[in-house]
């Protein structure tokens, strides 16, 4: 995107919560069915993500949210954070917004001392899968998902 200078990535701000939900609902509805766990996380993002030590990232251009993603803190032992709820506005797709979000989230997790980041996706989302692989995520097996649409799970092991 040639106007990268105007892009701003911000961490959690309540004024962007509606965009976080709207972009995700739009994205999920476009490819899949919105599930109860989506509604729970999107309607109560402060409770489910922020208050538990996670973060929400938004890419802003001229006060408009073009993309969002969350890092959800995991209390288990398998990984530290889940990269989740990534959505990019249809008009901003193909402009490396997803890459920018993922790189920012990974850097943030590293700064918090994370060693592993987990994510769930669907193999029909080939651009997303390619992005995750480019970032170093590898497919894993054996973790149960709370979502019907998930058919691939991936893990990124961070070198401190």
Cβ-contact 129, 121 below 8 angstroms = yes
Q: What is the reported pLDDT for 159?
A: 78
Q: What is the reported pLDDT for 72?
A: 97
The confidence band for 140, taking pLDDT boundaries of 50, 70 and 90, is very high
Residue 4 has pLDDT above 70, yes or no: no
Q: What is the reported pLDDT for 5?
A: 60
Q: Which domains does the chain have, with CATH numbers?
A: 4-114 (3.40.630.30)
The confidence band for 1, taking pLDDT boundaries of 50, 70 and 90, is very low
The confidence band for 160, taking pLDDT boundaries of 50, 70 and 90, is low
pTM (two decimals): 0.93
Quick one: average pLDDT of 83-112? 96
> Which residues are 56's β-sheet partners?
70
Question: From the CB of residue 76, how many other CB atoms can be counted at a distance below 10 Å?
Answer: 8
């Amino acid at each position: 995107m040639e106007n990268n200078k105007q892009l701003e990535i911000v961490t959690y701000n309540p004024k962007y919560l509606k965009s976080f939900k709207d972009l995700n609902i739009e994205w999920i509805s476009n490819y899949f069915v919105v599930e109860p766990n989506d509604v729970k996380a999107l309607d109560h993002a402060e409770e489910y993500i922020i208050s538990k030590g996670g973060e929400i990232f938004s890419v802003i251009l001229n006060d408009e949210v073009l993309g969002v993603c969350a890092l959800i803190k995991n209390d288990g032992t398998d990984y530290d954070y889940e990269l989740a709820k990534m959505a990019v506005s249809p008009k901003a797709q193909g402009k490396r917004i997803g890459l920018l979000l993922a790189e920012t989230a990974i850097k943030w997790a590293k700064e918090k001392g994370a060693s592993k980041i987990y994510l769930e996706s669907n193999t029909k989302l080939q651009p997303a899968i390619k992005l995750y692989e480019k970032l170093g995520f590898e497919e894993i097996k054996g973790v149960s998902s709370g979502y019907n649409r998930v058919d691939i799970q991936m893990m990124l092991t961070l070198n401190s």
